[in-house]
Amino acid sequence: MEVGLMVFGELLDLIDCWRLETGRAKPLRQWFIDDVIPSRI
């Protein structure tokens, strides 16, 4: 049962990525490398 749901979740992720790349959806947040990695490192 969990494997079937995992495959369905991956399919939804792929659809979401496709929608973002084709401009059909807007990202909730724009991430930059400075947001992820602090500059003091």
Could you give the CA distance from residue 30 to residue 26 in angstroms, rounded to a whole number?
9
Residues of the chain with pLDDT > 70, as a percent, come to 85
pLDDT of residue 1: 57
Position with higher pLDDT, 28 vs 22: 22
Q: Per-domain residue ranges for the chain?
A: 2-36
Residue with tokens 């973002």: 20
Average pLDDT over residues 1-30: 85
Taking the complete model, does pTM exceed 0.85, yes or no?
Answer: no
Alpha carbons within 13 A on the beta-carbon side of 17 = 6
pLDDT grade for 18, boundaries at 50, 70 and 90: very high
pLDDT of residue 15: 93
Could you give the CA distance from residue 28 to residue 35 in angstroms, rounded to a whole number?
15
Output the six-digit token pair for 12: 């939804």
